[in-house]
């Protein structure tokens, strides 16, 4: 069953060496929820994973600007976790929005 966990804050890590860009996600009580990991465009993405209760969601680098726009512009975001493997959709989800507002 999929779970939604409210994201209270985030940090962007854009290293100057071999580490790929990441967005770290934190929930209530400064709990580490996991990270969004941005790999080179065109490469095969590994399956999303849950390690020690923290989600690792993989995206291509071309998705980083879209994610930053979401994090900077939305009031409330959630981490959606359904699981690993085919048929499981994981990601970042906004809250319900009223049309025209």
Residue/partner pairs of 33-38 with CB below 8 Å, 24 or more apart: 33/5, 33/7, 33/79, 34/79, 36/67, 36/92, 38/63, 38/64
Number of domains in the chain: 1
> pTM score, two decimals?
0.91
Chain-centroid distance, C-alpha 59: 9
Chain-centroid distance, C-alpha 25: 7
Tell me the residue range of the domain where 39 lies.
Answer: 3-94
Q: Is residue 101, in this structure, part of any structural domain at all?
A: no
Give the percent of the chain with pLDDT over 90: 85
Q: Is residue 30, in this structure, part of any structural domain at all?
A: yes
**pLDDT for the residue 2:** 86
Q: Is residue 100, in this structure, part of any structural domain at all?
A: no
Q: Is residue 42, in this structure, part of any structural domain at all?
A: yes
On whether the CB atoms of residues 36 and 61 are closer than 8 A, the answer is no
pLDDT 10s digits, 76-92: 999 999 999 888 999 99
- 60: tokens are 């291509």
């Amino acid at each position: 069953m999929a779970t939604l966990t409210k994201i209270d804050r985030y940090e962007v890590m854009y290293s100057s060496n071999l580490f790929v860009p990441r967005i770290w996600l934190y929930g209530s009580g400064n709990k580490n929820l996991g990270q969004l990991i941005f790999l080179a465009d065109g490469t095969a993405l590994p399956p999303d994973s849950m390690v020690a209760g923290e989600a690792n969601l993989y995206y291509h680098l071309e998705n980083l600007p879209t994610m930053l726009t979401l994090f900077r512009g939305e009031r409330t975001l959630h981490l959606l976790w359904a699981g690993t493997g085919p048929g499981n959709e994981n990601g970042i989800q906004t809250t319900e929005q009223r049309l025209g507002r």
